[in-house]
Structure 1
Amino acid sequence: MAILMKGNEAIAEAAIQAGCRLFCGYPITPSTEIPEYMAKKMKKAGGTYLQAESEVAAIYMVYGAGAAGARVMSGTSSPGFSLMQEGLSYLFAAEIPCVIADVMRGGPGLGGLGPTQADYFQLTKGGGHGDYHPIVLAPATVQEMIDLTKEAFDLADIYRNPVILAVDGILGQMMEPVEFPGTYKAKILPAKTWAADGCEGRPKNNVISYYLSSEAGEADNLRWGKKMAQMQAAEQRFAELSLDDAEYAFVAFGTSSRITETAIDMLRSEGVKVGLFRPISLWPFPVEGLQKRVPQIKGWMSIELSAGQMVQDVRLAVNGRAPVGFYGRQGGMIPEPEEIVAAFKTQILQGGVQR
């Protein structure tokens, strides 16, 4: 049965159903409904809601609980996500699974409360120090927020890696009909024999992030590199709309992709064969899926709630074989479909963008 639910609350309920039993976070708009929901519901589910004194404290609480083998989560928005970057680097190095929801708002700095997608670089290029990547999943509907939240916990356990849900502020605040299919069943996951969850009857486990020997440090980095290569090979995710006969293509995720769908309808009504390539995994970026479309597409255009960040990955994937344009709005402003259509005609159809 479908129910009407706000995006942030859908993330929280999906996390509880996926077995999350500890939420550590600090309220920040526009993600605040996530901790609010957890504060109301977690105790009844047999878990704990813990409000930290800051996002810095929250991410290290996640570290401790994850190191003990718990399914643990935090939620925040862009300035708070910035404060978590050192902890995320430590979590990757210690190979501690966890899920973080970043409900993006305007910036830089304190910014405003309006929606944005300008955390893309921080999400996908490693916001903390060192060579590392979290898996980053970008839903475009409230239903996908449910499905990808559950998937995120499984992926975190499979790879022993942080997984980030990249949600713009519109999706976090909007309400849509959703369904929670039956009893959640996790995938067959590896046993957490590494966890520091009590060592009676076995040797103790140390969950640490680094060794002081340079030789050991390089060996760890090479091993992590192999794991990231496995994630890149197996976890590229995307969706397509109207691309089978398309001559041109937009690339967009989250709310931007939904607005772009209307622009596509407008252009197709004028006889322009255009479609949408929607990344669902921002890291690993779905290069393989996009490159399969390169031979047929005469021009690409990235639509973002930013000054232009994902467009760099699009250009790398296209590799000069077609022009790649960009249109975005910033600071919490949302593009209208008419703006997208006008920018597409100027940059792509009229040849305003070079390869």
Structure 2
Amino acid sequence: MAVAALVYVDAVCEVTDDAESAQWARPSTVVWMSETVLSRTSVDERLAWRTAAAKGSKQVTEVQDSWDIPFHPKYKDNTRETLRDETFRSWRQHNAIRKRPGIPNNSSRPRWSLLADFADLFDPDMTDEDFSEAADQWRNKNMTPGAKLRALRALDTESAKHAVIVHLPDGTTRTLEAGVSSLIIKGVVEEWSHQRLGQPVLLAISEPGDKVHLGDKKTLQALGIKIDPKELLPDVLMADTNPDPVQFWIIEAVSSDGPVTNERKKALLQWAAQQNIKADDCSFLSAFQSRNAAPAKKRLKDLATGTWAWFADEPGHELAWYQIIPGSDE
């Protein structure tokens, strides 16, 4: 809505445009916009609404009444602070929007305008191919590697309508069902394991419906590990064969719930013992889509002692939860 509203009132400019000649908008321009207003596309209608929005909600109401459009904004007035302090600030960091200089922060004067190359990405006449090329060029020009990674993660999440292909450490692939959980598993196997483990080996991936994908079958047989879909299984079982003894990583992909809590850790250790895997050789990871994702906000507080957490949109970081003084919470 922010993009649509600013384009509607012509608040689009080049970075080199003179501030006096450019058109600017306020956050309230976005808050007061509606899809019904956006359908009134004549130059005169857009100019009338823009002029009213620059003055106040009373004037906007009058214009919309003349169009027989009730003034029922989709967003509340107090959401403009979030738009200004979070969305616009982030866009400005990525050169998507320009802030008019010389305007005090407490002023109600309009001060925001989309930068033209960002606004051009929303041209409805572009073909899919043209859009993909333009979006890639814009990201490469304006976004840091970390920001690009987050953007690509978001795109992966949106496009997770088809099977998710996971590339295993041994060069083979496994195809998982579409969904956030599969995307998290993909990140764990393809990125986390290569950064965290000296010599990663995928042993098993389990999915809902008693569906299990075995990785290195020879290693499983050599270790005497039997994977039974009817048993309690972790989402991912990996091994790091670099240390001696081999370290086993028991991993849960938390797309909605199910991190490694104390109870879950105890149950998984019992399962590991049945496979002749010693508790001291086990490490535990709860993998989330993002620190901002609802499951992380809800369940990070429940992580078991002596476990780690990883986030797919920040693959170079890891959180650890452990006792500073062993036995202090016994």
Which structure: larger Rg? Answer: 2
| Length-normalised TM-score, structure 2 | 0.26
| Length-normalised TM-score, structure 1 | 0.25
